[in-house]
Structure 1
Amino acid sequence: MNRRFKLGLVINPYSGIGGALALKGSDGAEIRDLALSSGAEKLSGKKMAIALQTLLPLKDELEIFTASGEMGADVLSDMGFQFEIVYQHKEQQTESSDTNEAAKRLIDKNVDLILFAGGDGTARNICEVVDSKCPVVGVPAGCKIHSGVYAITPKAAGKVVAQVVKGELVSLMVGEVKDIDESEFRAGRVLAKHYGEMLVPEELAYIQAVKMGGKESDELVLSDIAAHVIELMDDQPETLFVMGSGSTVESIMDEMGLQNTLLGVDLIKNKEVIANDLTAAALLEYCKNQTVKVVLTLIGGQGHILGRGNQQLSPEFIKTVGKQNLLVVATKTKLQNLEGKPLVSDSGSHELDELLAGPIPVITGFHDLVLYPVGSV
């Protein structure tokens, strides 16, 4: 049986409620009370329904997790989706803390993507919990949309999520989360503040930086991939980077002038080799109680990321590291040559292979990522 796509869904029921009444926001219970008493209509649920309309033909492929009532369950039930409630809000009027708690429960469920409806305040709440743990798509429903994590329209949000669910290639971008001070905004001053970033799938920008073709092009693209990984190392000097086998990983080591084991596993920290050609046992010992990232590429020509030439990366080790700390690197040409077949984890542990199933970011260039599915065994 094929694994279903795990979709998390959250709605801020009060997002945008002050817009039509020129209240310039919906933050704070007093503003929401004023809007409701003035006859304002809650629209965020309706906007989420527009996004979900595109997903109706795919509902049998979805395993949906959401919050109770207006935070998700109501609109899903009305549209005929099956779902599981993972958070029950206690008060009729929901608060930012409810959004936070719902997001935490969705992350606990290891969802593949979170679809949420709201404005910049909602994006802030989601970002506080999610960060880069999984991709998100925002359905624009607020008075203020300064953040780069929202689709252009609710329908566009549904379209992008549908592409991800169907396993189509989409670009994975870093979207900035920004919000303004509503009290200042009401006084005519726009003061926007940066609150973080989240990963956002977008329609594929399938353009490689170098278009020359042939070996020279491949080498330049590999150099771009290496530059992305090296930047991560510069930003995290205390993190251990486990370098898996394969020529793409080798190119990263070559870029740093480090000794590489083509068919083995090496360990580096702060761009210096700690150990070469490690065994599974040695790798576990070195990485015990450490922050670890694992750099993988596709091995064996069939899309394998585990189980072909890198058995030193044991199931015990990968479970400890976690899916969010796997850095898969590959050229877009290499992904294209898979002809739509998913990546494969053949780790020797069915539990781990199921845990890794679902979309995963693949580094395809400098600040250039693609969301690509790992298949279910």
Structure 2
Amino acid sequence: MIVNPIAGIGGRLALKGSDGDLAARALAADAVPLAATRAAQALAAIGAPVELLTAGGAMGEALGGTVVYRPCETSSADDTQAAARAMLEAGIDLLLFAGGDGTARDVMAAVGESVPVLGIPAGVKMHSAVFATSPRAAGALIADLTRRGRIDTVAADVLDRPAPDAPPILYGVLRTPADALRLQPAKASPPADDAAAIEAACRQVARELAEPGVVGVIGPGSTMRRLKALLGFDGSLLGVDIVDGGSLVAADADERTILSAIAGRDARLALGVVGGQGFLLGRGNQQISPAVVRNIGRANIRVVAGMEKLVALPGNRLLVDSGEPELDALLAGYLPVRTNGGRLAMTKVAAA
């Protein structure tokens, strides 16, 4: 087990990752690291005896097991790679890491395809196909592997954005355990005709958000950016924007700004769907935190997605990975999705 202690640390602050100086900015703003907590959730879900090797300090020592590598006081990508190589030399069966796409790239650089790898989603973006859908799914998958006594693997794409506003690109592959439902696919680009097909659906939601007295929290993504354009402003592609009566009041808002805007108000939450993966929450929109969702309420969530995107979803379901299992369970069930021609498609929502 390798934990990237700064993975995802800026998510609720509306930062787009932890690369470069973003982690330092998040720490200066008293952001709370979550990667170790998500790693512990995965281990707790295994429920079977495993021999655990870890890196020292914040990179996993508190999880128990045998420390095989000690990082510098402030860990770096070099420490992730060195820890991965030390574990490979120790003869591991599976390399488990808690982090995001950047951590996956570091692991790939260290071990290549020489050992199966499984990611516990703890970053902001997580476009790659090496991650379980949630920490609990990672633990359940490992429990199955221990019962079977073998690991069947598939090649999984490692994707990352070279810059916050750049499209994700393919850096290589890792071998991951074969599991169609517990592993998330790589993020897919929207179909070429998706934007035109959901024009009517976006207009329906735009009219609702433009009603006097309604505060709208609009998530990231190309579909939501189209909705923002219909409301009359050039919205952020990767950020969460807030409107009041249809007028922009906050762009690229963080969790604190969103909570302040919706306090005591009639609020709506508009979300798109991550193509190829089906995530509503927990991928690139961590500023829409459990506290935000609870304040807005399940009944006030509006989802927009093209029919092609919906029918291509693995397991024909939408996924939520909010970080709080209780909230994920509350959101599970069926939600109406506004789709092609403004029609409604009742779509299953499941905890990741």
TM-score for the superposition, normalised by structure 2: 0.49
